[in-house]
Amino acid sequence: MNIDSIKNGFVIDHIKAGNSMQVYKYLNLGELVCPVAIIKNATSKKMGKKDIIKIDGNIELNLEVLGYINHDATVNVVKNGEIVEKKHLELPETVTDVIKCKNPRCITTTEQDIQHIFKLTDRENRVYRCIYCEAKAND
């Protein structure tokens, strides 16, 4: 398999095997006009198997969304063909418009223009709750 190296962009590494398409969807990578490569089930000493996404383009990468989906992933920033920075992700304290509140009585389900905002309430168990109604987010 031959995947070209990237000049300027990002390599999202250590994605849990099988989760790359979820990352692709939530980061809206299908809307990009630059090359995007998805490598699924790559061999990893650390994880056994992992997915990798390479983005060859100067884009805004939403680390909040990525941290929520896969906080164990790493993001390598590439400039002029060299890795210049490695970012380790954490669970974000809040996520906005990533999770939708399932509570039928929540204001977010009755009002159209209200953002769906969830706050991290239990880091160990990855529990997020709606800031309006306290409903627990479903993973």
What are the tens digits of pLDDT across the range 58-85?
888 888 889 998 888 999 999 998 999 9
pLDDT tens readout for residues 17-53: 999 999 999 899 999 999 999 999 999 888 899 999 9
Rg of the chain in Å (alpha carbons):
17
In a domain, 138, yes or no: no
**Domain check: are 43 and 19 in the same one?**
yes
In a domain, 77, yes or no: yes
**Domain check: are 84 and 99 in the same one?**
no
Rounded to an integer, what distance in angstroms lies between the CA atom of residue 1 and that of residue 21?
19
**Domain check: are 16 and 83 in the same one?**
yes
What tokens were used for 51? 């997915």
In a domain, 2, yes or no: no
Q: pTM here? A: 0.81
Residue 4, pLDDT above cutoff 70: no
User: Which pLDDT value is given to residue 3?
Assistant: 57
Domain interval for residue 99: 94-130
Residue 1, pLDDT above cutoff 50: no
**Domain check: are 78 and 102 in the same one?**
no
**Domain check: are 27 and 43 in the same one?**
yes
